[in-house]
Amino acid sequence: MPQNIFCLNLKPTEIAIYSYLMSCENRENYKCYPSYRRIANALNTSINTVMLFNFD
């Protein structure tokens, strides 16, 4: 994870989601497509909480 992520004033949940997405990323094409449900289950949070954050 890049060090500058901590300078972006992200909330802890946003950092957790970003970290999870980075762990799912395909290192060859830099893509990942986990569902909201999968992210929520992995982070032990609700789907609604995950849906609040848009990382487009």
Alpha carbons 52 and 31: distance in angstroms, whole number: 21
Residue range 11-25: average pLDDT?
Answer: 91
pLDDT value for 56:
61
> pLDDT averaged over the chain?
89
Range of the domain at 16: 3-52
Task: Answer whether 37's CB lies under 8 Å from 27's CB.
Answer: no
**Given the structure tokens 């032990």, which residue do they identify?**
44
Q: Are 50 and 34 in contact, with CB atoms under 8 Å apart?
A: no
The structure's pTM equals 0.79
pLDDT > 90 in the chain, percent: 54
What domain count does the chain have?
A: 1
The CA radius of gyration of the chain, in Å to the nearest whole number, is 11
What are the two backbone dihedrals, phi and then psi, of residue 52, each rounded to the nearest 5 degrees? -65, -30
Hey, what are 6's tokens?
């901590």
